[in-house]
Amino acid sequence: MTKIGLEIHCQLTNLKSKLFCSCKANYREFEINENICPICMGLPGSLPRLNQEAVKKATMIAMALNCTTPDKIAFFRKNYFYPDLPKNFQITQLNIYGKTSIGGTGSIIVGDKKIRITRIQLEEDPGRLIYEGSSSKNLITLVDYNRAGTPLVEIVTEPDFENPKQVRDFVNILSDLLENLEVSDPGLDGAMRSDANVSIEGGNKVEIKNIGSFHDLEKAVHFEITRQESLNSRDIQIIQETRHWDDKRKITVSSRSKEEDLDYRYFLEGDIPWIIIDPKTKENLKSNMPESISSKKERYVSKYNIPTQVATVLSSDKFYSDLFEESHTEVTAKEIANIITTDLMGLIDTREKRKESKITATHLKDLADSIQSGKISRNSAKNALYEIVKTGKNLSKVMSELDLGNVSDESELLGIIKAVIFEELKAVEEAKSNPQTINYLVGKVMQKTKGKADPKLTLDLLKKQLK
């Protein structure tokens, strides 16, 4: 049996400052080594100050993953000599004096499988090492400390995954959940990094470090399983080791460094006191948490009668569910859910397109209103949506520029209907005896108007003509 466990490092990208100083958490907008100060550089005499917002956000993540939350948390120094942290230790968490990590055991359902969470830690991100040359033969290593001290949440799971697909489903659910909580933007480069441990057939466990994106995580796990199966089939012993993910060659590579075997000499971080998180604070946090994805989904189904599948897609993506929340009324909910999931999601299917898109809640509201009042057909609405996403122009402007409005002028429509009746004598006779077949004639009118005839008015006028 294959056993896979994960350690997911997730940056709290929506915070203003780093975990222990006032440097910006958004280090990406700085020139190299410009987002630093004596605290995150660990200069002598500097003292860390804990970012309270980071504690709140990390607690929210723990709650959303159904983890226990301790009444007090502690921080520890993990000592290591490596150029990515200039002070030679990382401030992190460890459950040695009781459960003092920000999140205890929890679980989350993925498909029909329960994935257990072992613990959640709040810690500082190290700096970024930049290798010049190929990873196997580095000539120079450069280091950028802008990231050093950025708030990071580490989510550790039990080895409950049995295949790469479950891993992918889990990280998809997790990244939707983090985005919905407004704690992190999983799409930012380097915001989600993982380690995985993989063992097959009860054999030795291999750790894969340094997987830079969720996309690569599934690939890395898949590669490692195949590698171990291939060794097994040739009766070669799988050694317990740490391997690195080489994202250029898309393979795992044995890491010769002995850094994992170091005794990290953990000890309590004396410069940060134990932090009490009292029940009232927890209650406040819980009640102020954004509505969960599953609760949104249930509401969409029960209140608006939106089909479960549509509600699932709509609720799991914060960008779209926000648009939906801002634009819908009780009457237009189903229509807007439909426009978003069948048309809009296809038009802006990447993060880049989403960023460039000019669509607003007002556009969606106008579109749904116009469809429901017969001003525009669903088909033409699709064309209008395309133009709106591209230009951001308001609907009425787009409709007049592209001539997308429905033919709702009674005399104009009557002329077209009369022409259809003249051409379709046989169908007319049939519709007179069997009113069900009138849709064929409606279709002919639609054809003549290129789908722009107001459907309700067309039907009314046709019925009158056939009497």
- State the residues that interact with Zn ion by CB under 5 A: 21, 23, 37, 39-40
Q: Whose Cβ is closer to Zn ion: residue 40's or residue 221's?
A: 40
| 3 state DSSP class of 262 | coil
Q: Whose Cβ is closer to Zn ion: residue 127's or residue 405's?
A: 127
CB neighbour list of residue 198: distance below 8 Å, 6 or more residues apart: 2, 3, 4, 205, 206, 208, 221, 224, 225, 228
Minimum Å gap between C-beta 22 and Zn ion is 7
In angstroms, the CA 154 to CA 58 distance is 9
In angstroms, the CA 348 to CA 317 distance is 13
Which residue, 212, 178, 183, 174, is CA-closest to 195?
212
Minimum Å gap between C-beta 142 and Zn ion is 19
Q: Whose Cβ is closer to Zn ion: residue 54's or residue 167's?
A: 54
**Pair type for strands 151-157 and 3-11:** antiparallel
In angstroms, the CA 319 to CA 187 distance is 12
Minimum Å gap between C-beta 17 and Zn ion is 8
In angstroms, the CA 65 to CA 453 distance is 51
Q: Whose Cβ is closer to Zn ion: residue 33's or residue 360's?
A: 33
Q: Whose Cβ is closer to Zn ion: residue 35's or residue 315's?
A: 35
Minimum Å gap between C-beta 29 and Zn ion is 15
Q: Whose Cβ is closer to Zn ion: residue 24's or residue 165's?
A: 24
CB neighbour list of residue 67: distance below 8 Å, 6 or more residues apart: 103, 104, 105, 106, 117, 119, 120
Which residue, 70, 103, 53, 105, is CA-closest to 288?
53
Minimum Å gap between C-beta 149 and Zn ion is 5
Which residue, 122, 101, 113, is CA-closest to 50?
122
Q: Whose Cβ is closer to Zn ion: residue 87's or residue 244's?
A: 87
In angstroms, the CA 346 to CA 310 distance is 14
Q: Whose Cβ is closer to Zn ion: residue 71's or residue 84's?
A: 84
Minimum Å gap between C-beta 178 and Zn ion is 24
Minimum Å gap between C-beta 36 and Zn ion is 6
In angstroms, the CA 395 to CA 381 distance is 9
Q: Whose Cβ is closer to Zn ion: residue 18's or residue 78's?
A: 18
Q: Are 8 and 171 in contact (CB under 8 A)?
A: yes
Q: Are 1 and 179 in contact (CB under 8 A)?
A: no
| 3 state DSSP class of 444 | helix
In angstroms, the CA 121 to CA 103 distance is 7
DSSP state string for 263-294: ----EE-TTS--EE--HHHHHHHHHTSPPPHH
**Residues 77, 178, 364: CA angle, nearest 5 degrees:** 155
Minimum Å gap between C-beta 320 and Zn ion is 36
Minimum Å gap between C-beta 19 and Zn ion is 9
Q: Whose Cβ is closer to Zn ion: residue 23's or residue 272's?
A: 23
Q: Whose Cβ is closer to Zn ion: residue 38's or residue 133's?
A: 38
Minimum Å gap between C-beta 126 and Zn ion is 13
Which residue, 111, 125, 119, is CA-closest to 165?
111
**Pair type for strands 206-211 and 241-246:** parallel
The dihedrals phi and psi of 91, each to the nearest 5 degrees, come to: -85, 120
Q: Whose Cβ is closer to Zn ion: residue 48's or residue 159's?
A: 48
Tokens matching residue 90: 């990382």
Minimum Å gap between C-beta 282 and Zn ion is 29
In angstroms, the CA 413 to CA 405 distance is 13
Minimum Å gap between C-beta 74 and Zn ion is 22
